[in-house]
């Protein structure tokens, strides 16, 4: 069996959360696909605090596979941080993150390598269609991209997830980014570099169920937006200016009216309306400011992105 050289040509990074069932299926397909590439490689798996037998399965795989490295995180940190852990510990000249559920076909890596050798520093893999998604999810994704593009300075490529190939230069740059909120899609787009793309067909999840639900996705989207745009913070000065202008015009109109026709006491609704409306806008604004402040607080605390319980290198046990 082949040992991994210190700097392999390729690192494949796979975050795993409760993927016990998928691990054997994944390796049965991944390893032959990687061997067919004719390059040296390592597979870096991250056990993101799984509650099932994912870690045991991975370590079992490692006994027969000396090119497999297993990072065991101390708890569930979420896919983005697990991925960051993998990026930190990868050593390959090219790095490919992919999902554990075989939705990303390992065979597509061959096409990526071709583009990489042609000089691309980032090769994204574009899904040719969204499979296994409800209409509401597709609409949500569409809406998110529309808002993100209009509010943020980076443009997210469409139908492109974390499955991609990155040159070592790119990975080193990302590893140097200190931010704690890891919206990887945005970070990947932000760093730039020479890009190319391939198209792949996304498969169905091999086993188990998706780890994301509507609320998690909504939070993820909002997180992405606020990490890459200050617009939600700034828009309120415009809203405030508009409301003040309208209020001013209203006051002038009322004053003139009072001067011509005298005082008439009713006016209860208009007062109540403006108080309630302004109160609502102010609370919303405070909420948005609070969200950014929370983010600043997280960054200032400077806690590590993730905690590794143990790093299992092949042949150590």
Q: Which residues bind ligand UDP (CB under 6 A)?
A: 15-17, 19, 48, 76, 78-79, 82, 99-101, 103, 205, 210-212
Please list every residue from 82 through 101 that binds Mg ion, using CB under 5 A: 99, 101
72 binds, among ligand UDP, Mg ion, none (CB under 5 to 8 A by kind): none
Shortest spacing between CB 216 and ligand UDP, in angstroms: 9
Is the distance from CB of 184 to CB of 78 less than 8 angstroms?
no
48 binds, among Mg ion, ligand UDP, none (CB under 5 to 8 A by kind): ligand UDP
DSSP 126-161: EESS--S--HHHHHHHHHHHHHHHHH-SS-PPTTEE
Q: Which is nearer to ligand UDP, 272 or 311 (CB)?
A: 311
16 binds, among ligand UDP, Mg ion, none (CB under 5 to 8 A by kind): ligand UDP
Q: Is 19 one of the binding residues for Mg ion (CB under 5 A)?
A: no
Q: Which is nearer to Mg ion, 48 or 101 (CB)?
A: 101
Pick from 154, 143, 213, 147: nearest CA to 185: 154
Q: Is 103 one of the binding residues for Mg ion (CB under 5 A)?
A: yes
Quote the tokens at residue 147. 């808002």
Q: Which is nearer to ligand UDP, 101 or 167 (CB)?
A: 101
Q: Which is nearer to Mg ion, 72 or 101 (CB)?
A: 101
Is the distance from CB of 34 to CB of 109 less than 8 angstroms?
yes
Q: Which is nearer to ligand UDP, 13 or 120 (CB)?
A: 13
Can you point out the beta strands (E) in the chain?
10-16, 41-47, 68-73, 94-97, 122-127, 160-167, 195-200, 308-312
Long-range CB contacts (within 8 A, 24+) of 292-295: 292/226, 292/232, 292/233, 295/181, 295/226, 295/227
Q: Which is nearer to ligand UDP, 63 or 216 (CB)?
A: 216
Residues in contact with Mg ion, counted by CB under 5 A, come to a total of 3
Shortest spacing between CB 119 and ligand UDP, in angstroms: 30
CA distances from 174 to 74, 86, 215 (A): 23, 12, 27
DSSP 273-297: HHHHHHHHHHHHHHHHHHHHHHHHH
Shortest spacing between CB 310 and ligand UDP, in angstroms: 17
Shortest spacing between CB 150 and ligand UDP, in angstroms: 24
Shortest spacing between CB 282 and Mg ion, in angstroms: 41
3-class secondary structure, 308 = strand
Chain residues binding Mg ion by CB under 5 A are: 99, 101, 103
């Amino acid at each position: 069996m082949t040992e991994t050289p210190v700097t392999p040509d390729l690192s494949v990074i796979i975050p795993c959360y409760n993927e016990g069932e998928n691990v054997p299926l994944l390796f049965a397909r991944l390893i032959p696909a990687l061997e067919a590439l004719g390059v040296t490689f390592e597979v870096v798996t991250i056990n993101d605090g799984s509650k099932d037998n994912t870690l045991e399965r991975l370590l079992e795989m490692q006994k027969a596979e000396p090119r497999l490295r297993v990072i065991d995180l101390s708890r569930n940190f979420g896919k983005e941080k697990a991925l960051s852990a993998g990026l930190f510990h990868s050593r390959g000249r090219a790095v490919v993150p992919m999902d554990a559920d075989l939705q990303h076909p390992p065979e597509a890596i061959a096409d990526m390598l071709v583009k990489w050798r042609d000089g691309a520093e980032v090769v994204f893999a574009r899904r040719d269609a969204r499979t296994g998604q409800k209409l509401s999810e597709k609409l949500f994704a569409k809406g998110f991209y529309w808002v993100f593009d209009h509010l943020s300075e980076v443009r997210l490529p469409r139908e492109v997830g974390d499955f991609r190939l990155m040159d070592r230069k790119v990975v080193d740059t990302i590893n140097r980014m200190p931010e704690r909120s890891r919206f990887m899609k945005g970070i990947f787009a932000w760093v730039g570099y020479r890009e190319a793309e391939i198209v792949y067909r996304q498969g169905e999840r091999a086993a188990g169920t998706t780890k994301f639900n509507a609320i998690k996705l909504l939070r993820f989207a909002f997180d992405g937006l606020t990490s890459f745009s200050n617009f939600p913070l700034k828009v309120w000065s415009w809203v405030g200016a508009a409301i003040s202008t309208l209020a001013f015009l209203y006051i002038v109109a009322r004053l003139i009216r009072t001067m011509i026709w005298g005082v008439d006491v009713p006016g209860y609704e208009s007062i109540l309306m403006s108080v309630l409306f302004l109160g609502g806008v102010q609370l919303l604004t405070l909420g948005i400011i609070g969200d950014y402040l929370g983010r600043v607080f997280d960054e200032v605390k400077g806690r590590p992105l993730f905690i590794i319980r143990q790093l299992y290198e092949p042949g150590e046990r």
